[in-house]
Amino acid sequence: MRMGQRIKAQREKKGWSQHELARQSGIPQATISRLESGEMKDVQTMLARRLARALGVGLDYLAGTFEDDEGAEPAEVVLVE
């Protein structure tokens, strides 16, 4: 599964539209659309961090670091400020 698919899966799990994810993350909806469609493959770290934070998942999940854990639910992220 690629990053865009993981973003879309988590966004839909929250019941959010691309517009809502854009609002929550501060990332343009067009960028989210390009990521989810696979048109955009290279992602800057800051962009990935903002998406991960908005979706409540870790960067490792979005990046597919543990791809052999296919089907595993992402760990919930607790933000401490």
Enumerate the domain spans of the chain.
Answer: 3-69
Selection from 8, 62, 2, 60 nearest residue 33 by Cα = 8
Residue whose tokens read 């400020």:
81
Specify the higher pLDDT residue, 72 or 23: 23
Residues listed for the chain: 81
29-81: per-residue pLDDT in tens? 999 999 999 999 888 889 999 999 999 999 988 888 876 555 555 555 555 55
pTM over 0.85: no
CA distance 63 to 60: 5
| Domain 3-69 CATH (choose: 1.10.260.40, 3.40.50.300, 2.40.40.20, 1.10.3720.10) | 1.10.260.40
